Amino acid sequence: MLRRQPSKGRLVSALSGLVVDPPPIWLMRQAGRYLPEYREVRAKAGSFLDLCLNPKLSAEVTLQPLRRFDLDAAIVFSDILMVPYALGQKVEFVEGEGPKLEPVPSGKELAKLDRLKAEARFAPVYETLSRVIPELPSGVPVIGFCGAPWTVATYMVEGAGSKDQAQARLWAYRDPDSFQSLIDLLVETSIAYLLGQVKAGAGVLQIFDSWAGSLPNDEFARWCSYPTRALVAGVKAVYPDVPVISFPRGCGASAERYAQETKIDAIGCDTSMSLAYMCEILQSRLTVQGNLDPLLIVAGGIHLERRVKAILDLLSSGPFVFNLGHGILPDTPPDHVAKLVALVKGKA
């Protein structure tokens, strides 16, 4: 289906600290509603969760962006809320509203969560990976992923996305011991989930901590850095060579300490992170990934070109993976994505 690459591949090389020219590129949420072929499959799958649990259709939508664009990785099509689903929490995705879960608002409800059935519930995601891998050329890995314990906990506690994650923060302030039990359960379940994804063929892992920015500094260490460190250690104990990227969105100047404490191989930087900080502070320690504003691909044209050039000028002489500062938006024209990939690959 696609071009051949040397076996280690461009993304894994960059994640191991090498400078790859031109830098590898993949995009957060590269499969999804901005692609008409995704919307077609989505319409036939039923609900979003039905799609995630259907390995044949999930494999198809995982591959769709790679058929169109010269990307250096696929990311398995699933969702971070697969973990609460696997723990027996009721999870739904309401059209136009986002995720809705039956809330777990305090320690009293923890007993309802059940880890024993989780592996069986993860099985369709593992099957999606097994179906995708033979379709990719060597050197183009499939990225497995999960949400970081803190971010997943915010959805479990609130029962939906929220603007300030107040319910989860309140629980953590009022009763840190029982909140720690929820975090520990998520660490343990997510380690098993990531190990299962590697066993099924994922060659790279990414941890999404989309709400890392909502915690004050010392709480950030306790609920973001330490659980992620435990997650990374649990994976590396079994698969020391599988690179792990983490994306602690909104963590600001805590990024340097976070990278040190968690022992990740690469840090995903959000749109607000300055290129100077990424270059001078982070890139001397580890591979950086990021951080184009997804709105600039909607805008396209000269604004997109200028920013891509600025990012490449500052970051491409060190270990770097080109990506967005957050997920691709549904109203992104696919032509603009093609243009972006060509710009990064020096083919525009």
Question: By CB under 6 A, is residue 195 in contact with ligand CP3?
Answer: no
Q: Is 155 considered catalytic here?
A: yes
What is d(CA 224, CA 230) in angstroms, rounded to the nearest whole number?
10
φ/ψ of 194, rounded to 5, equals: -70, -40
Q: How far is the CB of 49 from ligand CP3 (least distance, A)?
A: 9
- Of the candidates 205, 218, 102, the one whose C-alpha atom is nearest the C-alpha of residue 147 is 205
Instruction: By CB under 6 A, name the one of 69, 150, 171, 208 that touches ligand CP3.
Output: 208
Question: By CB under 6 A, is residue 77 in contact with ligand CP3?
Answer: yes
Question: By CB under 6 A, is residue 193 in contact with ligand CP3?
Answer: no
Binding mask 209-248 for ligand CP3 (x = CB under 6 A): -x--------------------------------------
Sheet holding 266-268: strands in order across? 74-75, 142-147, 204-209, 244-248, 266-268, 287-292, 320-324
Instruction: By CB under 6 A, name the one of 12, 15, 23, 48 that touches ligand CP3.
Output: 48
Q: How far is the CB of 337 from ligand CP3 (least distance, A)?
A: 12
Residue whose pair of structure tokens reads 């250096």 in the numeric block: 72
Question: By CB under 6 A, is residue 60 in contact with ligand CP3?
Answer: no
Question: By CB under 6 A, is residue 53 in contact with ligand CP3?
Answer: no
- Positions in 136-175 near ligand CP3 (CB under 6 A): 145, 161
Tokens of 345: 């690959």
Give the single-character DSSP code of 92: E
Instruction: By CB under 6 A, name the one of 31, 66, 118, 308 that touches ligand CP3.
Output: 31
Per DSSP, the three-state class of 322 is strand
Most distant CA atoms of the chain, gap in Å: 57
Binding segment toward ligand CP3, per CB under 6 A, in 12-20, 93-101, 134-142, 336-344: 93-101
Q: Is 29 considered catalytic here?
A: yes
Give the single-character DSSP code of 107: G
Instruction: By CB under 6 A, name the one of 12, 57, 80, 244 that touches ligand CP3.
Output: 80
Closer Cβ to ligand CP3, 161 or 234, answer by number: 161
Question: By CB under 6 A, is residue 85 in contact with ligand CP3?
Answer: no
In one-letter notation, the amino acid at residue 241 is D
In one-letter notation, the amino acid at residue 204 is V
Residue whose pair of structure tokens reads 């609130």 in the numeric block: 158
Per DSSP, the three-state class of 109 is helix
Tokens of 4: 């051949």
Whether residue 124 is preceded by a cis peptide bond, meaning omega within 30 degrees of 0, is no
**98-101 and 91-94 beta bridge pairing:** antiparallel
Using CB positions, name the residue nearest to ligand CP3.
210
Active-site annotation holder among 42, 169, 229, 249: 42
Q: Is 79 considered catalytic here?
A: yes
Question: By CB under 6 A, is residue 294 in contact with ligand CP3?
Answer: no
Which residues are designated catalytic? 29, 33, 42, 79, 155
**Residue ranges in contact with ligand CP3 by CB under 6 A:** 28-33, 42, 48, 75, 77, 79-81, 93, 98-99, 145, 161, 208, 210, 327
